[in-house]
């Protein structure tokens, strides 16, 4: 089983899945899922001639479930270990939702020496939390309620969360199947990691990290995202990253990598080939 032993003060093991040959594309999943959320993208990108590497964040999927390290400095260090241990060069790094934070913090801390392009897909940057200098953000009570739900009834919380993740009222039978699949993935995650990641993506400010982006960047977001609203994330990241390309998918929920997979795959491939 392919695994990477991470470095730093909070070591663990990261599981990764690899498919295809060619320019490397690293896929970083969202919360509270695993690399399995990328099933459609792995197939489409590898068939198009790319080497796709999708790894599980610490605490999720088949990676280790340590008791520490659920912060973006550590997540970025983990991504750096993936990049260096696999000696990835001229790579494209793509992060969905919470995974967009890894892309941002990695570039902010480690630069783009190994990176050719970046993608932020339904991603949490630049800064979700409402503060005095971030009045467009999300009220702290939203994250407090999420944390309370995970700590007190994680399985029950996940059922409600994925309803809005896929806008189940709009996607019928397909949405029900995606909710069941996603709950199966999320149930296996570390309860501690699931909770601590809410604090990480809710409170981390990526604005300084985005200022360091100096590679072509694709931003894709659904205009019906109920989890990470376009107005507080994708649009603002587009404004902060010079020369970035913003693509808004009409009617797409947060989980558009599954509900609008063909559209997302087409956008990713067009960007990769451009």
Residues catalogued as catalytic: 97, 225, 254
Strand 3-5 versus strand 23-28 pairing type: unpaired
Strand ranges for 187-272 from DSSP E: 217-222, 245-249
Collapsing DSSP to helix, strand or coil, 122 comes out as coil
Contact 256, 229 (CB under 8 A): no
Helix/strand/coil (H/E/C) assignment for every residue in 231-249: HHCHHHHHHHCCCCEEEEE
> How many CB atoms lie under 10 A from the CB of residue 195?
19
Please return the burial class of 263, using the count of CB atoms within 10 Å of its CB with bins 0-12, 13-18 and 19+: middle
Collapsing DSSP to helix, strand or coil, 221 comes out as strand
Contact 64, 115 (CB under 8 A): no
DSSP code per residue over 31-64: TT--GGGGHHHHHHHHHTTEEEEEEPPTTSTTS-
* 242: phi then psi, degrees, rounded to nearest 5: -60, 130
> How many CB atoms lie under 10 A from the CB of residue 238?
21
> Which H or E run contains 19?
strand 13-19
């Amino acid at each position: 089983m392919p695994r990477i032993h991470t470095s730093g003060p909070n070591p663990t093991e990261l599981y990764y899945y690899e498919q295809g040959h060619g320019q490397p594309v690293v896929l970083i999943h969202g919360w509270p899922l695993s690399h399995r959320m990328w099933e459609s993208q792995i197939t489409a990108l590898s068939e198009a001639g790319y080497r796709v590497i999708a790894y599980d964040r610490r605490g999720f999927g088949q990676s280790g479930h340590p008791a520490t390290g659920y912060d973006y400095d550590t997540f970025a260090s983990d991504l750096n270990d993936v990049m260096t241990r696999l000696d990835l060069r001229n790579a494209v790094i793509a992060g969905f939702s919470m995974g967009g934070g890894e892309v941002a913090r990695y570039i902010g801390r480690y630069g783009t020496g190994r990176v050719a392009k970046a993608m932020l897909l339904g991603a949490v940057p630049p800064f979700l939390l409402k503060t005095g200098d971030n009045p467009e953000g999300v009220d702290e009570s939203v994250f407090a309620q999420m944390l309370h739900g995970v700590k007190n009834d994680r399985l029950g919380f996940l059922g409600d969360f994925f309803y809005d993740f896929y806008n189940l009222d709009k996607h019928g039978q397909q949405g029900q199947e995606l909710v069941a699949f996603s709950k199966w993935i999320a149930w296996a995650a570390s309860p501690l990691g699931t909770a601590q990641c809410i604090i990480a993506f809710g409170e981390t400010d990526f604005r300084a990290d985005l200022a360091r982006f100096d590679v072509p960047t694709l931003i894709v977001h659904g205009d019906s995202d109920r989890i990470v609203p376009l107005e507080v994330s994708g649009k603002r990241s587009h404004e902060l990253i010079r020369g970035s390309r913003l693509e808004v998918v009409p009617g797409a929920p947060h989980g558009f990598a599954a509900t609008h997979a063909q559209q997302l795959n087409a956008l990713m491939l067009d960007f990769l080939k451009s």
